Chains A and B, each alone.
Chain A
Amino acid sequence: MTPRKPLLKALAGMLTPDDVLVSCLGANARYLPHLTVPAPVFALCDSMGAAIPLALGMALQRPDRHVVALEGDGSLLMCPNVLATVAAARPSNLTALLWVNGHYESSGGQALPSAPVDWVALAKAIGIEHVERVADVASLRVVFPRARTARKAALLVLDVAFDPNEPIPPYSERPDEIRARFKIP
């Protein structure tokens, strides 16, 4: 399985100023300030499960922008119902990337309940119109642009390696700084 950082770097490299990026708490939010991201970024440091509905609200408000949400499998397992909300709202400009590593990485690396959740099947069954699995960086470079141009609500399921010894940087931006800087032109 691919480590997180090359996938995140590859994603950041594909974003444009016409995108908006919403990150879940944890490793993704902690890495992002250290990457060059050409899109506005709103990164959470709490509130598990909020990334996708937050991005949905942005996408509906700004149909001229492509909104990208990063969410973890632990967070989505708390509220998979949000996929039904997205399916019902049918935004044509929302792509969610689900980072699946089977662990609550930012809270100490505990394992998720060990149910073998098939996220691709679940998302399709609940009505998400564009669902694809991402195995590695090369696949992300093909699948992400395809999701962006699909003009349908998309969920990309990324299988990510879990490394309990990964030196993830600490949070380097405070919520008030993130909030003050976040603007969609």
Chain B
Amino acid sequence: MTLAASVPDTWIGTLVRTVRESKKIRVVDAAREEEAVAIACGAGLAGGRGAVLIQNAGLFNCGGVLAGLVELYRIPCFFIVSYRGDGRDPVYYHAPKGRVTEPTLSAWRVPFAIADRAADVEGQVVRGVEAAVESRGPFVLLISGEDLA
């Protein structure tokens, strides 16, 4: 990756702090998630490789840009999305987002995987990036706070 565009939440913020230490990846702080998608795509179209680091609430904002930019122009775009409201999330008010995250991705026909900290998380990231490149489209890796521990 050469660029990571992000709108943070608690979990993604933890990840972004680590990414900022990279000398290879430029972190771009975006005000809203659709921008982050377009910024990552711009980096990709210019010869780099962009990632999007956002919460699932922000992913829900991205239906238009996923369809009208990423899918329409067939641009590889790898996402790491915090899966708030899944069974591992201790915060009750995220639960409605958790219930609709996977159904939304399926309805949008966006391929995704759920990170498994018991397995090789780094390998899952690499496979997600490769999947986006090979399909020339989006790929979403859903992570829990536990995966960052």
Contact = CB atoms under 8 A, between A and B. Distances in A.
Interface of A: 20, 22, 42, 44-50, 53-62, 65, 79, 81-82, 84-85, 88-89, 175-176, 178-179, 182, 184
Q: Say which size band chain B's interface belongs to.
A: 20 to 34
A61 B72 CA distance: 22
9 contacts: A53-B34, A56-B39, A57-B41, A57-B43, A60-B3, A61-B47, A79-B34, A85-B30, A175-B74
B46 A184 contact: yes
B149 to A, nearest CB: 29
A156 to B, nearest CB: 19
Task: Report which residue of B5, B31, B69 has the largest number of chain A beta carbons within 10 angstroms of its beta carbon.
Answer: B31
B47 to A, nearest CB: 6
B38 A60 contact: no
A62 B35 contact: no
Contacts of B68: 44, 46-47, 50
B46 A50 contact: no
Nearest to A45: B72
Given A56-B39, A82-B32, 8 more contacts: A20-B46, A22-B42, A53-B42, A54-B38, A57-B39, A62-B46, A84-B31, A175-B72
A178 B35 contact: no
A22 B29 CA distance: 21
B34 A50 contact: yes
B73 interface: yes
Interface string B21-52: 00000101111101111111111111110100
A58 B42 contact: yes
B75 interface: yes
A53 B30 contact: yes
Given A81-B31, A175-B72, A57 B65 contact: no
Task: Report which residue of B34, B42, B64, B72 has the largest number of chain A beta carbons within 10 angstroms of its beta carbon.
Answer: B42
Contacts of B46: 20, 57-58, 61-62, 65, 184
B64 to A, nearest CB: 6
B32 A79 contact: yes
A98 B26 CA distance: 27
Contacts of B73: 175-176, 178-179
B29 A53 contact: no
A162 to B, nearest CB: 24
Contacts of B42: 22, 53-61
B31 A82 contact: yes
A135 B35 CA distance: 29
Contact of B69 (A54, A55, A58): A54
B124 interface: no
Contacts of A61: 2-3, 42-43, 46-48, 50
Interface string B80-99: 00000000000000000000
Contacts of B31: 81-82, 84-85
A57 B42 CA distance: 4
Contact of A42 (B35, B45, B64, B65): B45
